[in-house]
Every structure is written in structure tokens, then in C-alpha cells.
């Protein structure tokens, strides 16, 4: 959905900086930074995203919506409320106190669960959440994200985990819109596309 790509750029939930790259927590250098939590502060954009999520899952047989902690929780909860479905969220690891829960909320064995994520890069946080849901007896029918970098490693990781994932908008769509605005040079657009094909090689090149 190009309107969502446009909105993410306009409010700077996604920012592009091919000449002055960001540093991710992994240490990799990247020309893009994404924080979809910003969308929560803009009611019109927030509703646009929830409308998109509703359309994306409308035909699926879903019993429970699951948000990944922490960024997938608010959009997952809003979607569950819109659909009138139960909501759970999945921590990155079990709590070290109390009941030691990793999944918060009620999950019945055999329930069909859709995992909501704000952003897909390697997909590992969503895959780990899906593993936790499966171990608790749930059936993960898929992962739905707001935005995906569309990295080659994502497809491999999903295939290895026997999972599928979709997103409302993708890095190529976002770059296409950015290119249409004329705010980036042809060289910068080329650099962005090179990064998507091999983020590590791109990072090594800009840091050398």
C-alpha cells in the first residue's frame, strides 16, 4: 500500500539516510531507520494502518491476535479490538518472576493465531514468538507486519521455520515513492537498493 509507505516517510516513522547511515543494535550500518511506534501518535495514519490490517486478514480464519513485544502490541491490540477477537502478546523471553509467563493472555490449545509485528528485518523476533505460541498449543497461521525490509535472509528464515509473512508495505515500495519525490539523487536510490540486496556487504563498504 503506497499510501502507507508515503505516510511512514512523511511522519518520519521511516527515515532514509544513504549518505549518513544509521547504526543498528547489531552493529550493522544501514541507510534506513524504522520506528512504527510513531504512527500511534497520528490518529489518521494509525487508523489507515488498522484498516490495512483488517483488509489483510479479513478472509483468514483467525481465533486470536498475538502482538510481539513490544512494538507489535499496540497495533495488535487495536486490530483485535476492531475484529472483536481475543488478544495475547508474546514476550521475547519468559518472565523471571511470578508465573514465568512468556505469553500474556489466554491461549487455548488449537487456537488459530495471527502474529502482528511492526517491522520485519530478519524475522527472528516474530519467528521466536511463533515458536512460543506453538509450544503453548496454538496454531500460527502467519505473521502480518506493517513494514518489511524485504531482505533475502527473511525468506530463508521463514522457510526454515515453516512460516509465512506478509506486510502492508515494503522497502521497494517505499524507495519507489521516495524516488518519485525527487528528494534523493539517483546515486542515493541506487545505494538504497544495493543495501537491500546485501546489508552486511553494504555496511562493510561504508565503514571501510
C-alpha separations of 51 from 44, 64, 133, 149 in Å: 10, 18, 25, 21
pTM: 0.94
Pairing of strands 165-170, 139-148: parallel
Whether residue 43 contacts residue 33, with contact meaning beta carbons closer than 8 Å, is answered with: no
**What distances in angstroms separate CA 7 from CA 38, 39, 171, 182, one per listed residue?**
11, 9, 13, 16
Residue 95's pLDDT band, with cuts at 50, 70 and 90, is confident
Distance CA 151, CA 61 (A): 28
**Using an 8 Å Cβ cutoff, are 117 and 68 in contact?**
yes
Tens digits of residue pLDDT in 159-176: 999 999 999 999 999 999
In the predicted structure, residue 96 carries a pLDDT above the cut 80: no
Beta strand pairing call for 32-34 and 14-16:
antiparallel
Q: Looking at the predicted structure, is the pLDDT value of residue 145 above 80?
A: yes
> Quick check: 153 pLDDT over 90?
yes
Q: What is the pLDDT of residue 59?
A: 79
Residues 125-131 have a mean pLDDT of 97
Region 120-148 average pLDDT? 97
As a whole number of angstroms, the distance between CA 35 and CA 8 comes to 9
For 65-88, the pLDDT digits (tens) are 999 999 999 999 999 999 999 999
Contact 56, 1 (CB under 8 A): no
Q: How far apart are CA 127 and CA 2, in angstroms?
A: 26
In the predicted structure, residue 58 carries a pLDDT above the cut 90: no
pLDDT > 90? residue 25: no
Mean pLDDT across 90-101: 82
Average pLDDT, the chain: 94
Cβ atoms of residues 83 and 50 within 8 Å: no
Q: How confident is the model at residue 60 (pLDDT cuts 50, 70, 90)?
A: confident
User: Looking at residues 14-34, what average pLDDT do you find?
Assistant: 94
Say what the pLDDT of residue 97 is.
Answer: 75
Amino acid at each position: 500500500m503506497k499510501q502507507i509507505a508515503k505516510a511512514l516517510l512523511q511522519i518520519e516513522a521511516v527515515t532514509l539516510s544513504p549518505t549518513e547511515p544509521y547504526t543498528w543494535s547489531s552493529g550493522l550500518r544501514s541507510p534506513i531507520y524504522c520506528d512504527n511506534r510513531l504512527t500511534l501518535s497520528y490518529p489518521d495514519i494509525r487508523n489507515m494502518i488498522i484498516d490495512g490490517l483488517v483488509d489483510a486478514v479479513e478472509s483468514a480464519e483467525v481465533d486470536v491476535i498475538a502482538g510481539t513485544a513490544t512494538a507489535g502490541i499496540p497495533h495488535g491490540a487495536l486490530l483485535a479490538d476492531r475484529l472483536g477477537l481475543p488478544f495475547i502478546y508474546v514476550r521475547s523471553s519468559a518472565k523471571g518472576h511470578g508465573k514465568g509467563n512468556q505469553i500474556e493472555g489466554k491461549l487455548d490449545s488449537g487456537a488459530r493465531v495471527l502474529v502482528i509485528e511492526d517491522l520485519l528485518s530478519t524475522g527472528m523476533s516474530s519467528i521466536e514468538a511463533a515458536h512460543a505460541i506453538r509450544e503453548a498449543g496454538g496454531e500460527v497461521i502467519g505473521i502480518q507486519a506493517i513494514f518489511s525490509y524485504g531482505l533475502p535472509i527473511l525468506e530463508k528464515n521463514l522457510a526454515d521455520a515453516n512460516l509465512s509473512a506478509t506486510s502492508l508495505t515494503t522497502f521497494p515500495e517505499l524507495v519507489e515513492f521516495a524516488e518519485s519525490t525527487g528528494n534523493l539523487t539517483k546515486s542515493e536510490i541506487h545505494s538504497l537498493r544495493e543495501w537491500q540486496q546485501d546489508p552486511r556487504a553494504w555496511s562493510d563498504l561504508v565503514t571501510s
